Amino acid sequence: MEVVDDWEICFPEFPNISCWKPPSPWPETLFINITLYSISVLTAVLNLLIIISVSHFRQLHTPTNILLLSLAVSDFLVGLLVMPAEALLRNSCWFLGDLLCSMYFYGSYIILFASVGDMVLLSVDRYVAICDPLHYTTRITLNRVKVCVCLLWFCSVAYNSYYFNMFLLQQENTSSCYGDCMTLSHPTAADVDFVFNFFTPITAIIVLYTRVFVVAVSQARAMRSHITAVTKQISVTKTAKKSELKAARTLGVLVVVFLMCFTPVYVVSFVVLQNMSYSSLYFIQYLYYFNSCLNPLIYALFYPWFRKTVKFIVTLQILKPGSFEANIQ
């Protein structure tokens, strides 16, 4: 590492092996840290409200909401674990040791994989609900969705175990200064990750939601014009519920925001990585994590049930006997 005269040493007690960090004005550092940790706390709290709401109220035990619950769990872990660790990494010195460093990368990869998988499952859920509504209740059942969510998290853990082992071996074989926390993927591993964690799921999401959008627009026009002709298109239109169309629009906003926050991470990694400053790279990385804070805000904006359940939780009505049977739709 190149050391400039005004740089600061991470571990003064180990001057020969310690990393160095560039100086940073304390007002700027204080402001940025307060902002980052505030966003972290807000993200964890908002997603915890989602988790409690869907878990507690029986009326919310639907296949779509189970998928939202899985997404809220991953977003909650981002706010509780990943964002604080990213704030530490921004200071250029890692004080928690190599084991926690490797666990951080392992956990963040698991959460990333699970979040992308949740978005794919949500897209499949809306595709069946809008494009094949007559078979939705038989194909998308509560038990099947629970199994899919469990399989998703299991696959995420198994898939990223390879990268975790590679990271541990890399730490042993790569000489680095004390206080460093970073990972360098093998080009082949990076290509595989790009295919399975970005290109394939993002393509699936875009294709499915493009089809959902086309069919939803067609159904909305048909309902407005009260077409009664007996055709396959109209029979589907008549069976489609307005609530399903509204859910599709809401989840469409969720997916679009996710793509806007997630796509730059991989675009930067494969296109302009070498030409970007550290601050820009950090902003792009944190933009993806900030998506975990935006998701509950989208729920609050579009889902009346979320606002009602938050009121139940904040006023402690949730502690009353039988509160799980409350009508919050």
Distance CA(63)–CA(142), nearest Å, equals 5
49 confidence band (pLDDT: 50, 70, 90) = very high
Residue 232 has a pLDDT of 45
Per-residue pLDDT reduced to its tens digit, 12-43: 777 676 777 766 677 777 888 888 899 999 99
Q: In sequence order, what E strands does the chain have? A: 8-9, 20-21
Helix (H) or strand (E) holding 237: helix 232-239
Residue 233 has a pLDDT of 47
Per-residue pLDDT reduced to its tens digit, 262-275: 888 877 766 655 56
Residue 224 has a pLDDT of 63
Residue 324 has a pLDDT of 84
Q: Tell which CATH architecture fits domain 25-325.
A: Up-down Bundle (1.20)
* Tokens describing residue 94: 């890692």
Q: Report pTM.
A: 0.85
Residue 302 has a pLDDT of 85
CB-side neighbour CA atoms (13 Å) of 223: 15
Please state the rounded mean pLDDT for residues 305-319: 90
End-to-end alpha carbon distance in the chain: 58
Please state the rounded mean pLDDT for residues 7-14: 74
| 82: nearest Cα among 304, 291, 243, 232 | 291
| 68: nearest Cα among 55, 77, 84 | 55
**Residue 177: strand, helix, or coil:** coil
Distance CA(68)–CA(172), nearest Å, equals 39
Please state the rounded mean pLDDT for residues 232-255: 63
Task: Inform me whether the pLDDT recorded for 77 exceeds 90.
Answer: yes
Residue 329 has a pLDDT of 67
Sign of CA dihedral 73, 37, 298, 284: negative
Please state the rounded mean pLDDT for residues 170-185: 63
What's phi and psi for 225, nearest 5 deg? Answer: -90, -5
